[in-house]
Amino acid sequence: MTSPYSPTPVPIAARGGTTGHPADTFQGSEAWTRALIDRAGFGVFRCTADGTLVDVNAALATMLGFSDPGALKASGLSDTLWSSREERERCLAELESGARETSHDVQARRRDGSVLHLRLSVTADRDGRGRVRFVEGIAENITERERREEVVRRGERMAALGRTLAGVAHEINNPLAAISGFAQILLKREQPAEDRHALETMLHEARRAARIVKDLLAIARRQEGTERVRVDASAVVSYIVDTQRYAMETRGIRASVQLATAPAWVLVDPAQLEQVVLNLVVNARQALESGLERRHEDDGWIPSLGVGTRVEDEQVLIEVADNGPGIPVRDLPRIWEPFWTTREEGEGSGLGLSVVHGIIGALGGTIDVSSAPGQATRFTVSLPYAGPAPSSVPEPAASADAADLADLADHAASADGEAPQPQPQAPRPLDILVVDDESVIRELLSRFLARRGHAVLAAVNGEHALRLAEQGSFDVVISDLHMPGMDGRALIRRLRLLPSTARTRFFLSTGDAVASPGRPGDEDTADVEVVTKPYDVDALVDLVEGR
């Protein structure tokens, strides 16, 4: 094989040869060059202009999943080395235009169909007229490098997306707070059944939108800073499967659970772990349901879902597998992207797996998936093992859908014709200052708190609030966290300098559902409690009135 990468021939005599004859020198040099190429750690190849491989070394054959160079050449895969025929033709056009060499990053396909990232550095073997006879070059496997670079690129994309989502979510939560807040106020009055149902629907949908916003914020913030406790992952898995068992059994889906023999302790936010397992189980169930719609009942296929836990090499593994239709190979890299989904419009936000990926990453774990069309799909979550059990362990948190259950209970009560219970008056009237740059939030809080018997003043910004505070004292101050000019933290620092606020209780209000009141330099506001928008007005009242 003649190659532009062959070293300058060295006479055999100079390398220990005996004859020094020119023919022996040439033949020995060719053999030495061939041996050197075959032992190279990178791929070497020669192909015709149409892509047919003429010669390859052992390293390239191994890269592409073949036992030896002969097997690769005999495969007849003319475009094995190239992402596409267009890519190969583009390379050839560059060489035919006179380029001495060119470099291309390509996605080669291995014998088993998997993709390999290669960097091809190629040159041309030309005839006497300068026309390209063969394309020759080396192939460097850059798959791992590409994977690392993609991790960095993904991190940069997610950081930029996170900043955008955080801003968007904050703005969306303000109108959601008004919609859900006023709906809650109206539901506390007697309403005709039809109007009550409309208000309950409005509140339910506002809360659903708020959960989507919370998912956006989870992507943006990667759920850092949440409180973590020791939780038995097996208990969470068992609980989630029990909540889904009825839905699966009614569709003929067989569910099995295989748990670790001893508690699988992990250090997590229990609600987050529930969210992860619930999302994976629901996705598997829905995949099986779509399979039921596509397959005949008499083909012997039994839709099955398996969930399990085990402790292995200081890791707790949680696996969720199904024998549904599988995920196309081309879609696997995209399943973690926000808003990407294969479901019909209206059947999913496309945020679930992205949120799951973010939660697991923030917990110091990993999540992997293996799947192929028509075959089983398996998600494997790996989290650091938190060691043997302490004397007492907190129970897993309540389901993330508790608010929905409360909605359903309220709706059931109203459907039976029961009038809403009258709200008790506050134990004593309070002087309250509400600070928010959104007029609808000021109106909502002022109206609701005034109905409780409190004296409420509202300020449009921090400077306005300071002027009001200098003129009188307040028992409670509820300030928006993010405001133009002076933000909520800065306002509270200024207010605390006034003698009249010595006994004042402060609250920060925000549409950022995972915001923390403290940051470097804000230690003096770290004790301030945060209330999130949209409000649960009853919970807000309990906080304000000190219950």
Contact (CB, 8 A) for 453 and 431: no
Is pLDDT of 114 > 60? yes
List, in sequence order, every beta strand (DSSP E) within 238-326. Answer: 254-258, 265-268, 304-312, 315-322
Amino acid (1-letter code) at residue 474: F
Return the pLDDT at 235.
92
Higher-pLDDT residue of 38, 149: 149
Query: Is the pLDDT confidence value at 411 over 80?
Result: no
Q: Is the pLDDT of residue 521 over 70?
A: no
Q: Which of 11-20, 186-195, 479-488, 503-512 has the lowest mean pLDDT?
A: 11-20
Please determine, for residue 101, whether its predicted confidence score (pLDDT) is greater than 70.
yes
Work out the percent of the chain whose per-residue pLDDT is above 70: 74
Tokens of 262: 């001893």
Q: What is the pLDDT of residue 251?
A: 82
> Would you say the pTM of this structure is higher than 0.95?
no
Q: 513 or 314: whose pLDDT is higher?
A: 314
Banded model confidence at residue 29, pLDDT cuts 50, 70, 90 = low
What integer best gives the mean pLDDT of the chain? 77
Lowest mean pLDDT among 75-89, 176-190, 342-356, 414-428: 414-428
Q: How far apart are CA 118 and CA 42, in angstroms?
A: 10
The predicted structure's pLDDT at residue 538: 85
pLDDT of 218 = 64
Residue 467 — very low, low, confident or very high, per pLDDT cuts 50/70/90?
very high
pLDDT score for 243: 82
164-173, 219-228, 382-391 — which is least confidently predicted?
219-228
Query: What pLDDT is stored for residue 388 in this prediction?
Result: 73
Alpha-carbon torsion (283, 289, 293, 298), positive or negative: positive
List pLDDT tens digits, range 326-371.
877 777 777 777 655 555 544 444 466 877 888 888 888 999 888 8
Confidence of residue 28 (pLDDT cuts 50, 70, 90): low
Among candidate residues 120, 116, 97, the one with its CA nearest the CA of residue 107: 116
Supply 145's token pair: 């490098």
Closest CA to 52 of 89, 77, 84, 88: 77
Residue for token pair 């009055």: 189
Q: According to the per-residue pLDDT averaged within each range, which of 169-178, 318-327, 451-460 is highest?
A: 451-460
Mean pLDDT value across residues 302-320: 93
Please say if the pLDDT value at position 14 is more than 50.
no
Distance CA 177, CA 532 (A): 9
The pLDDT score that the predictor gives to residue 332 is 72
Query: What are 427-449's pLDDT values in tens digits?
Result: 789 999 999 998 889 999 998 89
What domains sit in the chain, N to C, each tagged with a CATH number?
40-141 (3.30.450.20), 147-223+405-415 (1.10.287), 229-390 (3.30.565.10), 431-544 (3.40.50.2300)
Q: Which is nearest to 187 in space by CA: 406, 8, 508?
A: 406
Q: Which of 202-216, 247-261, 307-321, 326-340 has the lowest mean pLDDT?
A: 326-340
Q: What is the pLDDT of residues 285-296, one digit of tens each?
A: 888 887 665 554
Instruction: Report the pLDDT value the prediction gives residue 77, as an integer from 0 to 100.
Output: 57
Strand, helix or coil at 338?
coil
377-384, strands of its sheet edge to edge: 254-258, 304-312, 315-322, 377-384, 366-370
| Mutual angle of helices 488-495 and 462-471, in 10-degree steps | 20
Which pLDDT band, with edges at 50, 70 and 90, does 489 fall under?
very high
- Give the whole-number percent of the chain exceeding pLDDT 90: 21
Model pLDDT, residue 492 = 94
- pLDDT exceeds 90 at position 315: yes
Rounded-to-integer distance, Cα 57 and Cα 464, Å: 78
Taking the CA atoms of residue 333, residue 338, residue 339 and residue 344 in that order, the dihedral angle to the nearest 10 degrees is 50
Please give the pLDDT value at position 479: 96
Q: Which of helix, strand or coil describes residue 296?
A: coil
Asked if pLDDT for residue 466 goes beyond 90, the answer is yes
**Amino acid present at 534:** P
Query: Which range is least confidently modeled, 91-95, 156-160, 364-368, 540-544?
Result: 156-160
pLDDT the model gives residue 536: 87
The predicted structure's pLDDT at residue 324: 84
* pLDDT (0 to 100) of residue 465: 95
Residue of 162, 173, 270, 151 whose CA lies nearest to 221:
162
